[in-house]
Structure 1
Amino acid sequence: MVAAGVALLAEGGWAALTARAIARRSGANTGLIHYHFGGLPGLRREVARSAAQEVVAPFVGALAGDDDPAAVLDRLAELIPAAAADEAAVRLMVELIAGAGRDPELCQALRGDLREARAQIAARIARLRPDWPAGRCRGAAVLAAAQIDGLVLHAVLDPDLPVEEAAETLRALLTRRR
């Protein structure tokens, strides 16, 4: 049911997430929504969390996974235009932001997931920069996440955005020694 909900959210926004539509798409009956999720609001929260994971996981994996910062930047330079060109992913991002603005419980669930993603990124930064205090690692994680969000937004609006140049500039800033 969650996967069906994510697909419906990408196709038609929050208005498309009705109990009947989700049940029909998933091949289940509407009673199961109440049984498993306590009702449609509970299922919507799980759909939002799954959609956010689908959108965010590749970026967190890129930032938290590789030991080579240059490889991380190369991977991000690939992911950003790909995400911007993925209409379903863009619609999910827009709907998640809109939904979180309207539903405090949904916002709280997504906030927790984003905090966890930033914590994973901060932990990776701490391993790369063991001399940095924890607060600086958390701050760098916030900046990295915000930079990705901003670049994806700009790439959606401007498909000719020079993402590779931005990645190269960031590489120069990160590797510069004082």
Structure 2
Amino acid sequence: MAGEEVPTRVRLLEAAVAVMAEGGWSAVTSRAVAERARANNALVHYYFGSVDALRRAAVTHAVEMELEGPVTAILQAEDALDGVSAAIRALVDRGTGTAGQRVMAEALLHGLRDPELRADSAQQIRMFRELLAARLTENRDAGLLRADADPAGLAVLLAALMDGLLLHVLLDGGTDAAGAADGLLGLLRPTTAPQDRGDDDDDPPRP
């Protein structure tokens, strides 16, 4: 029985994500999720305790699955700015309106009304910002980021940029999110100062 516990719980989570993506927050009921997962209705309460707890767990599951690849791209890239660009492209390349993306948008709205969901989401955001800030600090010290950049503040802006671009893509599939991001990220890179030519400009041209 212990071997069935994990897949059953995951099946319920994936079913809840699918139901929420199709019908919204209130569409997630124990009956709808159990039917989608082909599981006993009682298992929803056994694993999650309540429908609200299931909804919050489904949001966390969707966010983790949706952002796993992009976050890995950022943390493993030698240049964190290249990683952010790759992460945004990965989100866009998955297509607009994936189940995970719709659930993330749904969570933004309901997080304002649900203190527990808001706390869970805030924790995920803070963890991502801290990881990104650490990578940006490494890049600044290595000369890959402008010397006057504030890694902690920049991490907040880049995290918000990714969330905002995702919402724009969901509303307008023609949004060039990747191109817009690359233009902004380019401004954060250090500029190469022209080489000091000394008094060469005063020298007469050679014959």
Q: TM-score, normalised by structure 1?
A: 0.82
The equivalent of 1:146 in structure 2 is 160
Structure 1, unmatched stretches of 5+, are none
Kept in 1: contact 2:80–2:136 (CA 8 A): no
| 1:114 lines up with 2:128 in the alignment | no
The equivalent of 2:8 in structure 1 is none
Kept in 1: contact 2:75–2:135 (CA 8 A): yes
Alpha carbon RMSD of aligned pairs, Å? 2.6
Moved more, 62-71 or 21-30: 62-71
Matches within 5 A, 1:1-178: 1-69=12-80, 71-82=82-93, 85-130=96-141, 136-177=150-191
Kept in 2: contact 1:85–1:156 (CA 8 A): yes
- Distance across 2 between alignment mates of 1:136 and 1:175: 13
Moved more, 2-11 or 74-83: 74-83
Q: Deviations over 1:70-106 (max 9, x none)?
A: 6425514522433562343442122111221221111
Structure 2, unmatched stretches of 5+, are 1-11, 194-207
| Identity, % of aligned positions | 35
Structure 1 residues 36 and 137: CA distance shift in structure 2, 3 A? same
Amino acid of the residue matched to residue 107 of structure 1? Answer: R
Structure with greater proportional helix content = 1
Kept in 1: contact 2:130–2:152 (CA 8 A): yes
Structure 1 residues 2 and 140: CA distance shift in structure 2, 3 A? same
Moved more, 148-157 or 46-55: 148-157
Structure 1 residues 39 and 173: CA distance shift in structure 2, 3 A? same
- Distance across 1 between alignment mates of 2:31 and 2:47: 15
- Aligned residues between the structures: 176
